[in-house]
């Protein structure tokens, strides 16, 4: 099987030469990291088998958050943490999507535009939840995940929010539940989201760069009842730590064409698409985030800095729903042991060799 790292090692240098100085620095860093990942350029880790004493060595990972080989272990840790924080009762997934006509602008102004998407969408939820027609609580709680890719690696920025079904009234000190099948109306959310994003672009001095037509069409907001939050947390986890495509979807690389699998929306049948290798890399790099940008954000009573603790929120929910919340036993966060290929014994860490300590191979 051909890996994404191998594709970058084969065609990445050519891609960088093609775009030269016009290439974003973040893209250069990602290409360089993926090419070096698990090679001598990243250094080495040495282990010793506790059974037979044989030494084993492996090249270190690059650790870049856009590298497909470096994030798998973080998914389980994040899911475990969110499971501990989940609340009883019904939940919703609310998705805010920008019009297609706006995507080119956002791709060229990612830091400002992504921040505006988060601010506009979160303020939309905060604006509508106090209305007694809907929920009547002034303090909702939710977290959002920025997702930028479609199934064919096309650029499709949107934000998924997981929202417990209700909000806290800080004046009354009580929980105001939403309907089980309805949280907030999507048409008002669409209009407010659009208006607040426009305001953010004015503040950033970028409004003149946006096609005027995007302000006259509906912006897509979807609100879906999901029951408990568990399934949605597991659904979102890959978007938090994985990249646009994994090695398992790569079918082959042939005649400078990358063949990969995808599924159409609403279908479970795998299809195969092929792209020129440089176009494949270009689409992959569209989803590289600005340096330091946080793609997961927590709001309201789910924000760790909120003055109302999560334990207090659980007590309000217990009272509102007349239930007793029983917290499940925490699952220990263990890393599977590394096994010796010779005797099956467990390997223990000995030492690391940093990149500058690596002895270059003898080419004489």
The Cβ of residue 181 has, within 10 Å, a number of other Cβ atoms equal to 11
Taking each helix axis as running N to C, give the angle between helix 72-85 and helix 230-241, from 0 to 180 degrees, rounded to the nearest 10: 150
Closest C-alpha among 261, 248, 41 to residue 31: 41
Report if residue 253 sits inside a domain: no
How many Å apart are CA 314 and CA 23, to the nearest integer? 49
Answer positive or negative: Cα dihedral of 25, 31, 35, 37. positive
How many Å apart are CA 343 and CA 59, to the nearest integer? 21
Task: Identify whether residues 164 and 225 lie together within a single domain.
Answer: yes
Task: Identify whether residues 78 and 171 lie together within a single domain.
Answer: yes
Taking each helix axis as running N to C, give the angle between helix 110-128 and helix 186-204, from 0 to 180 degrees, rounded to the nearest 10: 140
Helix, strand, coil in percent for the chain, rounding step 5: 40, 25, 35
For residue range 189-212, list pLDDT tens digits in order: 999 999 999 999 999 999 999 999
Task: Identify whether residues 131 and 235 lie together within a single domain.
Answer: yes
For residue range 91-106, list pLDDT tens digits in order: 999 999 999 999 999 9
Q: Is the pTM of this model over 0.75?
A: yes
How many Å apart are CA 155 and CA 105, to the nearest integer? 11
Q: Order the strands of the 221-227 sheet from edge to edge.
A: 221-227, 91-97, 155-164, 141-149, 296-300
Q: Where are the beta strands (DSSP E) in the chain?
A: 44-49, 55-59, 91-97, 141-149, 155-164, 166-169, 174-177, 221-227, 250-254, 257-263, 270-276, 296-300, 347-353
> Taking the mean position of all CA atoms in its chain, how far away is CA 302?
18
Span 329-334, mean pLDDT?
A: 54
Task: Identify whether residues 30 and 56 lie together within a single domain.
Answer: yes
What share of the chain has pLDDT > 70, as a percent? 95
For residue range 111-150, list pLDDT tens digits in order: 999 999 999 999 999 999 999 999 999 999 999 999 999 8
pLDDT beyond 90 at 238: no
Task: Identify whether residues 213 and 298 lie together within a single domain.
Answer: yes
Domain membership of residue 39 as a residue range: 4-65+346-357
Span 298-327, mean pLDDT?
A: 88
Task: Identify whether residues 9 and 156 lie together within a single domain.
Answer: no
What's the number of domains the chain is made of? 2
Span 340-349, mean pLDDT?
A: 92
């Amino acid at each position: 099987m051909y890996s994404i790292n191998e594709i970058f090692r084969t065609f990445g240098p050519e891609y960088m030469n093609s775009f030269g100085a016009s290439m974003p620095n973040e893209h250069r860093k990602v290409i360089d990291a993926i090419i070096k990942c698990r090679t001598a350029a990243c250094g080495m880790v040495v282990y010793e088998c506790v059974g037979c004493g044989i030494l084993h060595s492996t090249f270190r990972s690059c650790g870049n958050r856009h590298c497909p080989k470096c994030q798998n272990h973080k998914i389980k840790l994040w899911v475990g943490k969110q499971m501990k924080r989940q609340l009883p009762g019904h939940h919703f997934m609310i998705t805010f999507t920008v019009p297609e006509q706006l995507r080119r602008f956002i791709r060229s102004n990612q830091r400002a535009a992504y921040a505006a998407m988060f601010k506009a969408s979160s303020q939309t939820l905060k604006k509508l939840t106090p209305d007694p027609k809907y929920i009547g609580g002034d303090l909702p709680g939710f977290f959002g995940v920025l997702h930028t890719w479609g199934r064919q690696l096309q650029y499709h920025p949107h934000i998924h929010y997981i929202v417990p079904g209700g909000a806290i009234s800080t004046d009354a000190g009580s929980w105001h539940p939403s309907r089980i099948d309805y949280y907030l109306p999507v048409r008002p959310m669409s209009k407010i989201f659009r208006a607040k994003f426009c305001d953010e672009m004015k503040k950033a001095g970028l409004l003149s760069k946006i096609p005027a037509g995007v302000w006259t069409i509906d912006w897509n907001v979807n609100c879906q009842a999901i029951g408990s939050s568990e399934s949605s947390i597991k659904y979102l986890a890959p978007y938090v730590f994985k990249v646009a495509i994994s090695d398992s979807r790569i079918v082959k690389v042939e005649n400078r064409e990358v063949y990969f699998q995808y599924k159409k929306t609403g279908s479970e049948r795998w299809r195969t698409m092929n792209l020129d290798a440089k176009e494949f890399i270009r689409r992959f790099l569209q989803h590289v985030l600005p340096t330091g940008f946080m793609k997961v954000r927590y709001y309201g009573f789910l924000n760790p800095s909120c003055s109302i603790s999560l334990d207090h929120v659980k007590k309000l929910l217990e009272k509102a729903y007349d239930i007793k919340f029983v917290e499940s036993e925490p699952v220990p966060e263990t890393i599977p042991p590394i096994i010796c290929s010779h005797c099956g014994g467990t390997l223990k860490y000995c030492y690391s060799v940093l990149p500058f300590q690596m002895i270059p191979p003898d080419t004489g």
